[in-house]
A and B are shown apart, each in its own frame.
Chain A
């Protein structure tokens, strides 16, 4: 690997975390069957691509499924919080997830058209920038740079299970502030809210919510970015008010009625897509803007989301 990237990562993450993440990534590259939260990763099973493609061609759904991936919906999610400082009433977050940019060129073109004129206060990216979960990442960074050019600052991001941490210096150089078990303060007038983000909790399991919350004072309004919603218990009991996530693709290939066949997550099904609530925490699982394994979607259109925060 690039010595320069390694040095930057060690400075950025500390030597232990850089070593852990890089080591697990190397093992993962060597061994295509992942050992994450699920013992059998369908996304890593090589013949799955042609099996899915051929099954869809046989049933005549392939081309419709292909076209569906380019038809990104803009969803609006209004969320109400008693704890939100009134100055943040109406604060709007553009949430993009699971872009898999190098595998979804048509969808990314559509995404760029959609976000160009959009109004929002903050943009967040909840991981899975890369198409595959192993291999080169240069095409991904090129794709991200194209999308990034059409987004307004500030832009914050977290890593997904498809992303290598070697992309971090490249993404930060584009002006995307990556939250790697970290938090930042967002200020409006004399009021503050906190935005935290964790590293991937699905495959790499190098998430550290305790560390991410260490700078957040008790009782303050806080948002957590996590690629996977599988951390919902740990997040809710760490007192986050809002969890923004992706990862599931809402199933990507769904039965009529948007019923997912698999979610690739150990998760209650109600948290697989859209808005949900767990104890005092509001959650949102975006079905994502891109698609992976095979770029097809059925009964589960891709989305980008505008979360509008309301006080009260």
Chain B
């Protein structure tokens, strides 16, 4: 690997986090069947794309499913919080996730058209920029750069289980502030809220909520970005007010009524897509803008989301 990237990552993450993340990535490259939170990773089987593609072709659903994968829906999620500082009433977050840019080109073209004239205060990206979970990442970076050119600053991001941490220096050079078990303050007038983000908790398990939350004063309004919603217990009990995540694709291939066949997550089903609540924490699981394994979707259109924060 590139020595320059390694040095930058060690400076950025500290030696342990960098070594753990890179080491597990190297093992994963060598061994396509992962040992993550789910034992059998469908998305890592080399046969899965052909099986899914042929099954859809046999049932005559393939071309419809391909078209579905491009038809991104803009969803709006209004959230009310008693703890939100008054100056942040109406604060809008554009949430884009699971772009898998190098595997979802038509969808990305549509995404660029959608975001161009959009009004929002910050943009957050909750991971899975790359199509595959391993291999080269240059095409993913080029695709992210094309999307990035149409997004307004500030932009914050976290890494997903499909992303290599080697992408971090280039993404930050594009102006995307990556939150790697870290936290940023967002100020409006004399009031502030906190935005934290963790590294992937699904496969790499190098998330560190304790570290990410360490700079957040008690009882201040705080938002956590996590690629996977699977850390909902740890996040809620660390007193986050809002968790924004993706990862599940809402199932991507669903039965009529948007019922997922498989969520690729150890998670209560009600948290698999859209808005949900757990104790005092509001959560939102975006079904994602792109698609993976095969760029097809059934009964589960891709989305980008505008979260509008309201003071209750």
Contact = CB atoms under 8 A, between A and B. Distances in A.
A239 B19 contact: yes
Contact of B233 (A15, A24, A239): A24
B268 A233 contact: no
Contacts of B218: 15
B234 interface: yes
Given A16-B213, A239-B19, A208 B234 contact: no
Contacts of A55: none
A262 B237 CA distance: 31
B37 A213 contact: no
B238 A238 contact: no
Interface in A222-262: 231, 233-234, 236-239
A244 B213 CA distance: 30
Contacts of A205: 231, 233-234
Interface in B121-160: none
A237 B19 CA distance: 6
Contacts of B172: none
Contact of A35 (B17, B214, B238, B268): B268
A15 B216 CA distance: 12
A206 to B, nearest CB: 7
B236 A266 contact: no
Interface residues of B, number: 34
Contacts of A37: 37, 266
Interface stretch (B20-28, B71-79, B96-104, B298-306): B20-28
Interface residues of A, number: 35
A174 interface: no
Contact of B35 (A210, A236, A239, A266): A266
A268 B34 CA distance: 10
B234 A24 contact: yes
A211 interface: yes
A234 B210 contact: no
B240 to A, nearest CB: 11
Contact of A213 (B16, B35, B206, B238): B16
Nearest to B28: A233
Contacts of A38: 266
Interface in B206-224: 206, 208-211, 213-214, 218
Contacts of B24: 233-234, 237
Interface string B3-25: 00000000000111101101110
A210 B208 contact: yes
B239 interface: yes
B53 interface: no
Interface string B101-114: 00000000000000
Interface in B226-269: 231, 233-234, 236-239, 266-268
A59 interface: no
Contacts of A22: 237
Contact of A23 (B206, B236, B266, B267): B236
Interface string A192-215: 000000000000011011110110
A8 interface: no
A218 B18 CA distance: 14
Nearest to B39: A266
Contacts of B214: 16
B234 A19 contact: no
Interface of A: 15-17, 19-24, 27, 35-39, 205-206, 208-211, 213-214, 218, 231, 233-234, 236-239, 266-268, 279
